[in-house]
Amino acid sequence: MAGSMLFDNTVPGVKPIIQFEGVAARAWDRVSYENAPVTDDTALAPDVSEDDKALMIDGGFSLYASGTASTDVVEKRFAWGFTVGSRYNECHSEQDGRDEAGVVVTNNGTVEVELTTHGDHLYYDRLQSSPDPSVVTSLRFDALAAADADDDGEVTLEELDATPLDVRLYDPSGLQAANLGAFVSQLARTVGHFRGEGECTISRL
């Protein structure tokens, strides 16, 4: 596929990207895709506005997430734009009980392949899954909420950058993340998956 497309994943449902005709019947075992900053040439998926595109271009963003997190006593807003670009290489997934690299095209057949976004990764407490199955990855927001230094109800990336990483709560998994901002920015690179829970090798653009 040439070019890029901007999606709004607050809109429910599957979003079509591209259809390839006349693909040779064989195993295409080296599938990759990118999450890159939006450019003037980026096409818009349905339900994406020109204002959304302008916001992404003005900020140099590849990913933008906004929302609120609340408990019975406090509510915090956030609007985080990430500029880092990521390439998802050598994607593979479980198909019919076995690990399959890329996608297999059969004779006179069609196959649908989903590039999946896992937005919950932005709230993970680990940058990589532990090899020990007893060590689970959890969702956390309390420490992020506490980073609202001016207590204006909005947690900014600048406030996260100013908050040292508490390694009792967050595991950087050997990667560089000295503060909460760097940690969340690293998490933003992990949202891309393949065919649901399938994994890819992530590299920086």
Tell me the residue range of the domain where 63 lies. 5-10+27-204
pLDDT in tens, 3-47: 999 999 999 999 999 999 999 999 999 999 999 999 999 999 999
Residue 67 resides in a domain: yes
Residue 61 resides in a domain: yes
Residue 65 resides in a domain: yes
Residue 182 resides in a domain: yes
Sequence length of the chain is 205
Q: What value, to the nearest 5°, has the Cα angle with vertex 135 and ends 130 and 136?
A: 90
Q: How many domains does the chain have?
A: 1
Residue 17 resides in a domain: no
Measure the CA–CA gap between 141 and 174, rounded to whole angstroms. Answer: 21
Residue with structure tokens 């140099």?
Answer: 60
Residue 147 resides in a domain: yes
Residue 101 resides in a domain: yes
Nearest to 205 by CA among 65, 89, 34: 34
The pLDDT of residue 96 is 93
pLDDT in tens, 48-93: 999 999 999 999 999 999 999 999 999 999 999 999 999 999 999 9
The pLDDT of residue 82 is 98
**Phi, psi of 186, deg, nearest 5:** -70, -40
Residue 155 resides in a domain: yes
* pLDDT > 90? residue 174: no
Q: For the chain, what percent of residues have pLDDT higher than 90?
A: 95
* pLDDT > 90? residue 176: no
List all residues 6 or more positions away from 94 whose beta carbon is below 8 Å from its beta carbon.
100, 197, 198
Q: Is the pTM for the entire model greater than 0.85?
A: yes
SS3 state at 104: strand
